[in-house]
């Protein structure tokens, strides 16, 4: 019998990255009891990898910028699949998000007169991306950790949450275990905030590290009774490094293109001329990723299956001050000096633009007491995320969801619990701990990443997606015979088993939704349906029971009037 700890709190936050910490800070500042838990150390949360910057229409560099233009750019580049209400909340709240970071002590890059400096990012009309070198996410994470420590917010960052606890349709807490010694954690809470990231690690080449973004938020929410929206809309970042294999997919920040980096194929051609001659390397992520994919697949890629990104023509001072992390990464991983040599890159799975279905204004799910934020949620990005929008989203909605969760907690007059639900969660862990089958969890995870890469990558078609579902069904059968072996090093096998369960659910939602979206729009490229279908300006809401098409509201005129039409140039048009 494993040891078990029991904890009670008003609000439980699952995930200790930027969105989870921002929500926890808001709750603490409101005087609400909060506990944050994560499966990896908070200093090493995924937010710390975000490089290029954070968007807000501060107009420090371009006075004509406005929240309305920020919203217009976001909706345009979402290919009209972003919810205009969510977009408006973020664009209007962005300046407050930056001010919050400044209040917490964040060090932004500044102009000589003290103004916050802002750089261009792909597909923005104006310079609105604030930054700290090319390690903006790391600086934000450090800033939020410092503020959380000042507020004495309790953080448990070795707890893996395996199940949300539900009684009579309402959340009453969560169950999990300590990743080092296997101690069970029964956590009673009035409400739960899911901030445990997306699902891009289920592809072979990913900007996420090995044991993060495996779809945990998706599985936890769906098993509690929530649904997923737009699981098929996954952003492939154009520039992931190819080797060494252990870090394949690690990002070269979009800042490299923002500062003047040039893309060429193996023939030395500056190939973006073919796909977006106006914006070239500053085109949208979906456009650049598809361009690179096409060059590689048509035989104009490098021997290792990539294209070249070159910043060596930039002044050394620019590289060292604006791209220090890119410089350091390439030196450490490949002994490559980017001030002298080109970087070999290829598209990499980067960001879940879909996620748990949430209310567009409050980010409450359909399960009372359950909220979702950050990459776990959906609604802002549609079919193509603007670089720099994810970091501002987690600040804006972190604050809002903190307030909403506090309000929900205060509104309860009583709170039902269910011993049946607790026993189910406890037994799910125990049965896995004692499983001694022949299947290796890691090899099954690898099989999922392989099938998603082959059948649901940058370009998809019906035959490939159906084959992917057949392979997934085989993996689901093999999962029934896995073996778990806790050892002196901890309970990593058990973590991987739950990661696998999450990955399988996320993969099924993605493949089924990708089959349903019979069009090419933004990041979703169907070679058998190369055009946008106006009838599919809908969100696809997935549950194990099937897919529902959810219509989107009209874009308000003050935003719509600033949108120039989305071009299909460079897409899969025959």
Q: How confident is the model at residue 124 (pLDDT cuts 50, 70, 90)?
A: confident
Selected catalytic residue, list 257, 426, 508, 526: 257
- Give 164's pLDDT tier (boundaries 50, 70, 90): very high
Average pLDDT, the chain: 93
- Place 489 in a pLDDT band, splitting at 50, 70 and 90: low
Share of the chain above pLDDT 70, in %: 98
Count CB-CB contacts under 10 A for residue 86: 25
Give me the mean pLDDT over the 418-430 stretch: 97
Query: What average pLDDT does range 273-298 have in this prediction?
Result: 91
Bridge-based pairing of strands 184-194 and 170-178 is: antiparallel
Rounded distance between C-alpha atoms, residue 196 and residue 495, angstroms: 14
Least confident residue range of 118-127, 270-279, 287-296: 118-127
CA distance 306 to 53: 25
In terms of residues, how long is the chain? 574
Question: CA–CA separation, 29 vs 387, rounded Å?
Answer: 30
Q: How far apart are CA 466 and CA 451, in angstroms?
A: 11
Conformation bin of residue 369: beta by default, left when phi > 0, alpha when psi is -120 to 50 = left
Long-range contacts of 175-180 (CB under 8 A, 24+ apart): 175/422, 175/425, 175/426, 175/429, 176/37, 177/2, 177/429, 177/491, 177/494, 178/491, 179/39, 179/490, 179/491, 179/492, 179/495, 180/490, 180/491
Structure tokens at 132: 């700290």
Please list the residues that pair with 528 across neighbouring strands: none
- Which stretch of DSSP H or E encloses residue 349? strand 343-352
Mean pLDDT to the nearest integer, 174-201: 97
The residue from 46, 124, 204, 237 that is catalytic is: 237
pLDDT at 42: 87
Report the distance separating Cα 565 and Cα 242, nearest Å.
35
Query: Is 257 annotated in the active site?
Result: yes
Supply the pLDDT for residue 565. 65
Residue 55 pLDDT: 95
Q: How many whole angstroms from its chain centre is CA 564?
A: 27
What mean pLDDT is predicted for residues 450-470? 96
CA dihedral angle for residue 378, residue 508, residue 173, residue 548, rounded to 10 degrees: 50
Label residue 422 by pLDDT band (50, 70, 90).
very high
Q: What is the pLDDT of residue 133?
A: 79
Q: What is the mean pLDDT of residues 420-447?
A: 94
Say yes or no to pLDDT of 255 above 90: no
**Tell me, what's the pLDDT at 312?**
97
Determine which of 190-194, 465-469, 487-491, 509-513 has the lowest per-residue pLDDT on average. Answer: 487-491
Residue 220: strand, helix, or coil? helix
Q: What is the pLDDT of residue 464?
A: 98
pLDDT grade, residue 572 (50/70/90)? Answer: very low
What integer pLDDT is reported at residue 567 of this predicted model? Answer: 52
Q: What are phi and psi of 383, to 5 degrees?
A: -95, 0
Q: What is the pLDDT of residue 541?
A: 98
Distance, CA of 168 to CA of 542 (rounded, Å): 22
| Residue bearing the bigger pLDDT, 155 or 490 | 155
- Average pLDDT of span 506-527: 97
Specify the higher pLDDT residue, 270 or 573.
270
Mean pLDDT, rounded, for 443-455:
95
Is 146 considered catalytic here?
no
| Residue predicted with more confidence, 124 or 528 | 528
pLDDT in tens, 341-367: 999 999 999 999 999 999 999 999 999
pTM of the model: 0.93
Taking 80 as the threshold, does the pLDDT of residue 289 lie above it?
A: yes
Mean pLDDT, residues 178-192: 96
């Amino acid at each position: 019998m494993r040891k078990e700890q029991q904890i009670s709190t008003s609000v439980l936050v699952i995930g200790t990255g930027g969105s989870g910490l921002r929500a926890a800070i808001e709750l603490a500042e409101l005087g609400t009891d909060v506990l944050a838990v994560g499966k990896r150390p908070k200093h090493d949360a995924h937010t710390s990898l975000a490089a290029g910057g954070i968007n807000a229409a501060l107009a420090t560099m371009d006075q004509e910028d406005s929240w309305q233009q920020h919203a217009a750019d976001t909706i345009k580049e979402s290919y009209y699949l972003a919810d205009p209400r969510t977009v408006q909340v973020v664009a209007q709240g962005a300046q407050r998000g930056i001010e919050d970071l400044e209040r917490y002590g964040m060090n932004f890059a500044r102009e000589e007169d003290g103004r916050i400096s802002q750089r261009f990012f792909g597909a923005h009309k104006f310079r609105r991306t604030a930054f700290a070198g090319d390690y903006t996410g790391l600086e934000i994470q450090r800033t939020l950790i410092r503020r959380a420590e000042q507020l004495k917010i309790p953080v448990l960052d070795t707890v893996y949450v395996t199940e949300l606890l539900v009684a009579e349709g309402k959340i009453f807490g969560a169950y999990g275990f300590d990743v080092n010694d296997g101690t069970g954690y029964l956590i009673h809470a009035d409400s739960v905030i899911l901030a445990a990231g997306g699902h891009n690690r289920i592809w072979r080449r990913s900007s996420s590290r090995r044991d993060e973004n495996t779809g945990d938020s998706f599985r936890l929410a769906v098993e509690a009774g929530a649904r997923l929206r737009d699981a098929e809309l996954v952003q492939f970042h154009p520039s992931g490094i190819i080797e060494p294999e252990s870090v394949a997919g690690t990002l070269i920040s979009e800042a490299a293109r923002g500062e003047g980096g040039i893309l060429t194929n193996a023939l030395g051609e500056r190939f973006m001329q073919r796909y977006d001659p106006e914006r070239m390397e500053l085109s949208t992520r979906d456009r650049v990723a598809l361009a690179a994919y096409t060059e590689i697949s048509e035989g104009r890629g490098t021997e290792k299956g990539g294209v070249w990104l070159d910043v060596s023509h930039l002044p050394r001072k620019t590289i060292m001050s604006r791209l220090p992390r890119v410089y350091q990464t390439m030196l450490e991983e490949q002994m490559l000096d980017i001030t002298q040599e080109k970087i070999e890159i290829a598209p990499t799975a980067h960001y879940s633009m879909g996620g748990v279905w949430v209310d567009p204004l409050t980010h409450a799910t359909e399960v009372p007491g359950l909220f979702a934020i950050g990459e776990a949620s959906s609604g802002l990005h549609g079919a193509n995320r603007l670089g720099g929008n994810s970091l501002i989203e987690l600040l804006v909605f972190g604050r809002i969801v903190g307030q909403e969760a506090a309000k929900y907690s205060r509104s309860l007059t009583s709170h039902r619990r269910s011993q049946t639900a607790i026993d189910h969660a406890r037994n799910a862990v125990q049965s896995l701990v004692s499983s001694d089958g022949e299947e290796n969890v890691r090899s099954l995870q690898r099989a999922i990443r392989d099938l998603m890469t082959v059948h649901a990558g940058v370009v998809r078609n019906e035959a490939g997606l159906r084959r992917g579902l057949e392979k997934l069904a085989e993996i689901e059968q093999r999962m029934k015979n896995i073996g778990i072996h806790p050892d002196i090093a901890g309970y990593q096998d058990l973590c991987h088993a739950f990661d696998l369960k999450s990955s399988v659910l996320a993969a099924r939602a993605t493949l089924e939704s990708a089959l349903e979206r019979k069009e090419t729009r933004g990041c979703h490229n169907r070679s058998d349906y190369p055009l946008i279908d106006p009838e599919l300006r809908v969100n696809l809401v997935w549950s194990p029971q099937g897919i529902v098409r959810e219509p989107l509201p009209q874009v308000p005129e003050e935003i719509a009037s600033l949108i120039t039409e989305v071009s299909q140039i460079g897409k899969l048009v025959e």
